[in-house]
């Protein structure tokens, strides 16, 4: 049975810790890995607190201590040998991610599924060169993982139908709604979303509306929970810009050109909430001023 299987998660940051938590709550045995013991301890603290909060809100069907027993933490890759599924969630860098899979591929079992949580890199490029690329798949979770319902499964040129079926079943067992996307820059969600953010920046740059009016228009006219310029500030203009550059390069089509103002604001270090200035200004707690 799939839910009795073991998941090894590489990278215990925002995404890795969230994936580990959701998987343990869903009944999987989970081993969470990071570079140092101090980093995994930090993730353990966060997960422990989250489980206690969920228990206090009566959102768990089991005692949090029972769930904690399914979680282990390590700064080595040794335990990947026991895993049925490895999910990589380190920082967004093709070479660093390829290095992880080069290291892990000889350690894991022949039938282990290897997955990446990349939000923008080519799954086909990540799979190239590993021994069983047909068992490699993109599992694109959204932040925060315990809250966001969607899992975007990304299929590389090598991924087998069996691996896709496995990914769908895994997503369902983790309580997610699953969509399947081809390995194309931005997959489904980020392509549509970041293009919309970029277009909103063009609107602002061309003086079609003020920042406030562009955000208000999209919230009230399209029922979006947040305006595109506020969202771009939240995500970080450097991140939005990097995604646009990936589209522009990946499709070699001027339709995907980043708004000049986006490039300029990034160069100027006006990155949004994290630098306290983007399309809006923010106080030290991240509140708009
Ligand atoms: N944050 C988001 O909103 C979001 C959403 C969807 C997907 N993603 C993707 O998820 C991935 C992780 O993002 P994040 O926001 O959790 O990053 P993060 O920076 O919070 O965490 C990355 C973690 O990986 C660890 N790490 C780095 N190299 C490692 C190695 N060689 N072995 C083990 N651990 C290593 C780091 O120490 C760090 O704890 C990225 O590919 C990102 O694009 C992020």
Q: How far is the centre of ligand 1, averaged over its atoms, from the C-alpha of 126 (Å)?
A: 16
Q: Is 39 in the pocket of ligand 1 (CB under 6 A)?
A: yes
Q: What pLDDT digit, counting tens, does each position of 76-125 carry? A: 999 999 999 999 999 989 999 999 999 999 999 999 999 999 988 999 99
Q: Which of 15, 18, 143 to mutate to test the pocket of ligand 1 (most atoms within 8 A of CB)?
A: 15
Question: What pLDDT does residue 2 have?
Answer: 72
Residue 1, pLDDT above cutoff 80:
no
Question: Where does the pLDDT of residue 139 fall: very low under 50, low under 70, confident under 90, or very high at 90 and above?
Answer: very high
Q: How far is the centre of ligand 1, averaged over its atoms, from the C-alpha of 219 (Å)?
A: 30
Q: Is 100 in the pocket of ligand 1 (CB under 6 A)?
A: yes
Distances (CA, A) of 106 to 7, 44, 133, 136, 268: 17, 28, 13, 14, 44
Distance CA 57, CA 71 (A): 21
Residue tagged 């660093």 (tokens): 96
Distance CA 7, CA 113 (A): 10
Could you check whether the bond before residue 144 is cis, i.e. omega within 30 degrees of 0? yes
Q: What is the mean pLDDT of the chain?
A: 96
Question: What pLDDT does residue 129 have?
Answer: 87
Domain 2-182 - what CATH class? alpha beta
Question: What pLDDT does residue 175 have?
Answer: 97
N- to C-terminal Cα separation, the chain: 52
Q: What pLDDT digit, counting tens, does each position of 26-67 carry? A: 999 999 999 999 999 999 999 999 999 999 999 999 999 999
Q: What average pLDDT score do residues 247-274 get?
A: 96
Q: Which of 33, 78, 80, 89 to mutate to test the pocket of ligand 1 (most atoms within 8 A of CB)?
A: 89
**Domain 190-275: which CATH number of 3.90.110.10, 1.10.1040.10, 1.20.1290.10, 1.10.287.3610:** 1.10.1040.10
Which residue's CA is the nearest one to ligand 1's atom 4?
143
* Encoded tokens for 21: 């938590």
Residue 127, pLDDT above cutoff 90:
yes
Residue 240, pLDDT above cutoff 70:
yes
Cβ(175)–Cβ(26) below 8 Å: yes
Is residue 190 part of the annotated active site? The answer reads yes
Q: How far is the centre of ligand 1, averaged over its atoms, from the C-alpha of 17 (Å)?
A: 9
Q: Is 90 in the pocket of ligand 1 (CB under 6 A)?
A: yes
Question: What pLDDT does residue 45 have?
Answer: 98
For the chain, what are the domain ranges?
A: 2-182, 190-275
pTM of the model: 0.92
Judging by beta carbons within 10 Å of its beta carbon (0-12, 13-18, 19+), is residue 183 exposed, middle or buried? buried
Question: What pLDDT does residue 7 have?
Answer: 98
Residue 198, pLDDT above cutoff 80:
yes
Is residue 132 part of the annotated active site? The answer reads no
Question: What is the share, in percent, of the chain residues with pLDDT greater than 90?
Answer: 97
Question: Where does the pLDDT of residue 145 fall: very low under 50, low under 70, confident under 90, or very high at 90 and above?
Answer: very high
Is residue 224 part of the annotated active site? The answer reads no
Question: Where does the pLDDT of residue 269 fall: very low under 50, low under 70, confident under 90, or very high at 90 and above?
Answer: very high
Q: What pLDDT digit, counting tens, does each position of 157-182 carry? A: 999 999 999 999 999 999 999 999 99
Q: Is 11 in the pocket of ligand 1 (CB under 6 A)?
A: yes
Question: Where does the pLDDT of residue 272 fall: very low under 50, low under 70, confident under 90, or very high at 90 and above?
Answer: very high
Cβ(247)–Cβ(185) below 8 Å: yes
Question: What pLDDT does residue 3 have?
Answer: 65
Q: Is 143 in the pocket of ligand 1 (CB under 6 A)?
A: yes
């Amino acid at each position: 049975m799939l839910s009795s299987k073991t998941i090894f998660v590489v990278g215990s940051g925002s995404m890795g810790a969230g994936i580990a938590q959701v998987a343990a709550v869903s009944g999987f045995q989970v081993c969470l890995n990071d570079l140092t013991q101090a980093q995994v301890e930090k993730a353990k603290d966060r997960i422990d607190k989250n489980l206690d909060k969920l228990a206090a809100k009566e959102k768990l069907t089991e005692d949090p201590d029972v769930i904690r027993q399914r979680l282990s933490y390590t700064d080595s890759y040794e335990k990947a040998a026991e895993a049925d599924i490895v999910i990589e969630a380190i920082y967004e860098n093709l070479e660093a991610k390829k290095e992880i899979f080069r290291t892990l591929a000889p350690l894991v079992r022949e039938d282990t599924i290897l997955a990446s949580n990349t939000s923008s890199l080519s799954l086909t490029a990540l799979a190239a060169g590993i021994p069983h690329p047909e068992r490699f798949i993109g599992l694109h979770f959204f932040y925060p993982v315990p809250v966001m319902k969607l899992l975007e499964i990304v299929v590389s040129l090598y991924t087998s139908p069996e691996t896709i079926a496995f990914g769908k079943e895994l997503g369902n067992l983790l309580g997610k709604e699953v969509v399947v996307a081809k390995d194309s820059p931005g997959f489904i969600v980020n392509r549509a979303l970041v293009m919309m953010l970029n277009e909103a920046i063009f609107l602002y740059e061309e003086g079609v509306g003020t920042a406030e009016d562009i955000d208000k228009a999209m919230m009230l006219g399209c029922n979006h929970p947040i305006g595109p310029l506020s969202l771009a500030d939240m995500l970080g203009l450097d991140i939005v810009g990097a995604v646009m550059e990936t589209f522009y390069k990946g499709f070699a089509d001027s339709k995907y050109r980043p708004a000049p103002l986006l490039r300029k604001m990034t160069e100027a270090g006006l990155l949004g909430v994290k630098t306290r200035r983007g399309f809006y200004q923010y106080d030290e707690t991240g509140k708009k001023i």
